[in-house]
Structure 1
Amino acid sequence: MLEGRDNIQRDFDRVERWAHANLMKFNQAKCKVLHLGRGNPKHKYRLDGEWIENSPEEKVLVDEKLNRSWQCALVAQKANHMLGYTKRNMASRSREVILFLYSALVETPPGVLHPALESSAKEGHGPIGAGPEEGHEDDQRAGAPLL
């Protein structure tokens, strides 16, 4: 176990030397160590002469139990916020425009339609490609911006 710890510390030292050689400095407050697995001795590491904090989980990575459910919940929440923003601020309510903007702003797997988008599609906006000339005058207001 000590050999692994020494290798990790050596990597931190190498990164530190590289940063100094390139006249860069790490923001120590943003540097954290994520200890993976159970029964991990949670060794301490140093960077630029200071101890690096431990963290039980990090933003878009995984938690110490290798669980990604927290990340999935955050991604879903962000997607829902973006969908709400898109729906509130659009002049056009056509399904085609909503899908285009949503897919441009939030990456979704192919063939997956968010339930809120499905409800917009069921409000009588017609199939994708149906425009004002096909009886959907409210889909695109003349001269109105999309966002």
Structure 2
Amino acid sequence: MLIKFADDTKLGGITNTVEDRNKIQRDLDRLEHWAENNRMKFNRDKCKVLHLGKRNQMHSYKMGDAWLSSMTCEKDLGTVIDHKLNMSQQCDVAAKKANAVLGCINRSIVSKSREVLVPLYSALVRPHLEYYVQFWSLHFKKDADKLEQVQRRTTKMIRGLETKPYEERLKELGMFSLEKRRLSGDMIVLFKYMKGCHIEEGRDLFLIFPECRTRNNGLKLQEARFQLDIRKKFLTVRAIRQWNQLPKEVMGSLTLEAFKRQLDSHLLGML
């Protein structure tokens, strides 16, 4: 499998046998040959091998006459991917960046009013906590708490809210917790697959319950069963149960804008 984005190139495959390993090596040879024919050159120092899976045999590969080094984690489009795929390292990086920006705001801005801090947090801090988060969905509660702590710290900085509980601070500010925002993002993406701009792709990704078997509007999805916890965190798996639990009026929205409004009202009523 070959994936290209701008000047980034990824080559992947499943290697259960030596022949599978040889196939990937032949693909690397063809890639190197293509680059030479087109008078291009791969930076071999930046080319790394990331082995995934507990039973991975850790085969070695080379480009041209240079053997590629193996890494336990690698940054891909700003996201840290490790060999365990649990995304804890990416969570640490995101929390560290967000805390650094928040600390700078706290030291530099005299006013601690909500009119000043909330827009600054939304524009400069929260993007670090949510960039590409639909992909690196959190696997562990400790990681979710680590990100949520940044928003807790922000709301506690606001004048007049210092002593109030976190949930009450969010309510007064008209904000959702990061957990609810991630859930909202999942539901919006799923709506696009079910009734929006990605409906064609959604037919290949999701299986709808037959209308005769449910008492709903025919948009409930069937859940697949997987043994691996990692697979359960994929968007196409983790979001199905939450989607099926949405009220009919939310799920039955005709447009994306209407769905967002109904979804926000529903989330406001959730604990």
Normalised TM-score (structure 2): 0.40
CA offsets per residue over residues 45-104 of structure 1, 9 Å max, x none? Answer: 111320000112223343222221121111111111111122223354332332222222
Look up the equivalent residue of 1:124 and give its one-letter code: G
Matched, 1:120 2:136: no
Label 1:91 to 1:20 Cα distance change in 2 as closer, same or farther (>3 A): farther
Query: Are 1:36 and 1:64, in contact at CA under 8 Å, matched by a contact in 2?
Result: yes
Matched, 1:93 2:112: yes
Label 1:19 to 1:97 Cα distance change in 2 as closer, same or farther (>3 A): farther
The structure having more radius of gyration, on CA atoms, is 1
The aligned residue for residue 47 of structure 2 is: 31
- Alignment partners' CA distance in 2, 1:42 and 1:2: 11
Query: Are 1:37 and 1:66, in contact at CA under 8 Å, matched by a contact in 2?
Result: no
Question: Which of residues 76, 90, 97 is equivalent to 1:78?
Answer: 97
Label 1:5 to 1:115 Cα distance change in 2 as closer, same or farther (>3 A): same
The aligned residue for residue 143 of structure 1 is: none
Question: Which of residues 17, 37, 55 is equivalent to 2:33?
Answer: 17
Question: Which of residues 50, 66, 87 is equivalent to 2:85?
Answer: 66
- Alignment partners' CA distance in 2, 1:103 and 1:18: 45
Label 1:57 to 1:93 Cα distance change in 2 as closer, same or farther (>3 A): same
Label 1:54 to 1:96 Cα distance change in 2 as closer, same or farther (>3 A): same
Look up the equivalent residue of 2:107 and give its one-letter code: R
Question: Which of residues 31, 35, 42 is equivalent to 2:58?
Answer: 42
Label 1:48 to 1:103 Cα distance change in 2 as closer, same or farther (>3 A): farther
Structure 2 spans left out of the alignment, 5+ residues: 1-16, 131-147, 162-171, 174-271
Structure 1 spans left out of the alignment, 5+ residues: 129-147
Q: Secondary structure at the match of 2:73?
A: coil
Query: Are 2:60 and 2:68, in contact at CA under 8 Å, matched by a contact in 1?
Result: yes
Look up the equivalent residue of 1:79 and give its one-letter code: A
- Alignment partners' CA distance in 1, 2:28 and 2:115: 50
Query: Are 2:121 and 2:154, in contact at CA under 8 Å, matched by a contact in 1?
Result: no
Label 1:101 to 1:41 Cα distance change in 2 as closer, same or farther (>3 A): same
The aligned residue for residue 51 of structure 1 is: 67
Could you say which structure has the greater relative contact order, defined with CA pairs below 8 angstroms and 6 or more residues apart? 1
The alignment-based identity, stated in percent, is: 45
Query: Are 1:61 and 1:71, in contact at CA under 8 Å, matched by a contact in 2?
Result: yes
- Alignment partners' CA distance in 1, 2:72 and 2:36: 29
Relative to its length, the structure with more helix (as a share) is 2
Q: Secondary structure at the match of 1:114?
A: helix
